[in-house]
Structure 1
Amino acid sequence: MKVNTQSVNFNADVKLITFLENRLDKLETFYDKVISSDVYLKVENTSSKENKVVEIKLNVPRNKYIVKKQCKSFEEAVDSACNSLERKLIKRKQKSRLQT
């Protein structure tokens, strides 16, 4: 799967990007027709500690899934977003099996 990563208001280090790519590659075990993903990493200027925002757009045939999570760290937000995407992909796979 092709992963496009953009970091807004900061420079993402290599460790974070490899963690993100590894976590997204695991999504292919749930639905193998994933085309690509666009990931936006943002740091919001707020006083709260939960200022790390991860937005993932997952492209699958005839559909797009968008998940946005805000947490204390990028790793936590990526995990949370990927868990949501896993549930969506499992639902999609079950629907496609029922239709055929």
Structure 2
Amino acid sequence: MNTRINTVHFDADAKLIDHVNKRLDKLPVFHDRITGVEVYLKLDNIAHQIKDKIAEIKVYVPHHQFFVKHESKSFEESFDLAFDSLVTRMKRQKEKVQQN
């Protein structure tokens, strides 16, 4: 599984990268054919000084791609919300495939 973490408009510290990697290490439990994962962590400061933190996760599996995006006031929270949503989607897709 190839993993790529991209940061946009900032430099991530080691603690944030470790947090992301620890969560991503759990992905093979939910789908055994993952070929790649891309994570985008972005700072968004539209119109105001308040900077929202956006986390986007793309997971590539044969014949399918999962994409989730969440936004909150911290990168950890944004990533955790996106990861939980991703896991839910992957479980749903796996159940749908097993029913057919």
Normalising by structure 1, report the TM-score: 0.90
Secondary structure of the structure 2 residue equivalent to 1:40: strand
- Residue 75 of structure 1 is matched in structure 2 by 76
Structure-2 residue corresponding to 1:54: 55
Partner of 2:11: 11
Contact 1:50 1:70 survives alignment (8 Å): no
Counterparts of 2:49 and 2:77 in 1: how far apart (Å)?
16
CA contact (8 A) 2:66 2:86 kept: yes
Q: Which amino acid aligns with 2:70?
A: K
Alpha-carbon separation, structure 1, partners of 2:51 and 2:89: 25
Matched residues in 2 for 1:6 and 1:30: separation?
23
Paired positions, count: 99
Q: Is the 8 A contact 2:2 2:36 kept in 1?
A: yes
1:28 aligns with 2:28: yes
For residues 80-99 of structure 1, what are the structure 2 equivalents within 5 Å? 80-99=81-100
5+ residue gaps in structure 1?
none
Contact 2:43 2:51 in 1 (8 A): no
Gaps of 5+ in 2: none
Coordinate RMSD, CA, aligned: 1.4
Determine helix, strand or coil for the equivalent of 1:32: coil
Q: What is the CA deviation profile of residues 41-71 of structure 1, one whole-angstrom value per residue up to 9, with x for unaligned ones?
A: 1111243756000111111110111111101
Give the distance between the partners of 2:28 and 2:58, measured in 1 at CA.
Answer: 15
